[in-house]
């Protein structure tokens, strides 16, 4: 069964260029739409920026920009040569004006570039939020952030699959991408709010991010495990 309607982002969390190329080549399948996601580790690495200039397929640059509006704008402007960058992330914590400004700039430099706003990181829970001074729960804070993201005109959100259904009930057409995804039986590592791919898609997410469940060990076998899991 072909599941091209399910978008999978594979987290390329390494600075090793050879490993990056291996992840990209070995997760290719005609049964799923798999797009590489590059974070700070690869982008900051010696070969990262040059590789992204030449990559021929769509990719997600997960920089989670969070700064004053002008600095955020300058950061987005510096990415205009990355022609196949289809997604960029900023933090909802940056506020409404920053999100509006980034969306406007992104549209100017690349009409296909989608701005995704990160809500509460999946490594945090209610206890973590309290420790950093928030008085609201994860769910309350995510809902308020999503309202602001919608107001900003940005294209979508990044939230845990545990909040996805709640957000989907309120916003039927919003692009919702969920990290913190693990195949059944895999280690949680540093994530606190996780789900399996099947559970996430049942919560009506638009796409999921999978890292170590795909990239540790035999990548081709892991990709086949994912296909089998989603076919059940």
Q: Is the pLDDT of residue 4 over 90?
A: no
Q: Taking a C-beta distance cutoff of 8 angstroms, is the pair 205, 8 a contact?
A: no
pLDDT for residue 14: 96
Residues 6+ apart with CB under 8 A from 111: none
Q: Is the pLDDT of residue 144 over 60?
A: yes
Structure tokens at 107: 């549209």
CATH number of 3-231: 3.20.20.70
Q: How confident is residue 184, by pLDDT bands cut at 50, 70 and 90?
A: confident
Q: How does the average pLDDT of the chain come out, rounded?
A: 92
Q: Domains of the chain: which residue ranges?
A: 3-231
Q: Is the pLDDT of residue 130 over 90?
A: yes
Tell which residue, 52, 46, 120, has the closest CA to residue 84.
52
The position carrying tokens 């107001």 is 151
Strand partners, 195: 181
What digits encode the pLDDT tens for the residues 54-88?
999 999 999 999 999 999 999 999 999 999 999 99
Q: Taking a C-beta distance cutoff of 8 angstroms, is the pair 175, 162 a contact?
A: no
Q: Taking a C-beta distance cutoff of 8 angstroms, is the pair 215, 222 a contact?
A: yes
Mean pLDDT of 32-56: 95
What digits encode the pLDDT tens for the residues 89-123?
999 999 999 999 999 999 999 999 999 999 998 88
pLDDT for residue 5: 73
H or E element that contains 59: strand 59-65
Q: Is the pLDDT of residue 190 over 60?
A: no
Q: Is the pLDDT of residue 192 over 60?
A: no
Active site residue 64: yes
Of 19, 64, 86, 100, which is the active-site residue?
64
């Amino acid at each position: 069964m072909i599941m091209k309607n399910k978008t999978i982002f594979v987290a390329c969390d390494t600075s090793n260029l050879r490993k990056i190329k291996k992840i990209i080549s070995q997760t290719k399948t005609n049964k799923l739409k798999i797009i590489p996601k590059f974070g700070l580790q690869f982008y900051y690495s010696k070969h990262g920026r040059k590789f992204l200039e030449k990559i021929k397929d769509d990719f997600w640059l997960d920089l989670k920009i969070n700064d004053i509006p002008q600095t955020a704008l300058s950061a987005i402007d510096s990415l205009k040569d990355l022609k196949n960058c289809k997604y960029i992330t900023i933090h909802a914590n940056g506020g409404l004006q920053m999100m509006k400004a980034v969306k406007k700039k992104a549209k100017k430099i690349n009409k296909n570039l989608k701005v995704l706003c990160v809500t509460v990181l999946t490594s945090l829970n209610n206890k973590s939020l309290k420790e950093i001074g928030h008085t609201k729960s994860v769910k309350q804070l995510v809902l308020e952030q999503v309202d602001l993201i919608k107001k900003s005109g940005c294209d979508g959100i990044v939230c845990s699959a545990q909040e996805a259904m709640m957000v989907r009930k309120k916003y039927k057409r919003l692009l919702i991408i969920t990290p913190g995804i693990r195949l059944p039986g895999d280690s949680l590592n540093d994530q606190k709010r996780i789900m399996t791919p099947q559970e996430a898609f049942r919560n009506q997410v638009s796409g999921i991010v999978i890292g170590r469940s795909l990239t540790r060990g035999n990548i081709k076998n892991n990709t086949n495990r994912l296909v089998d899991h989603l076919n059940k």
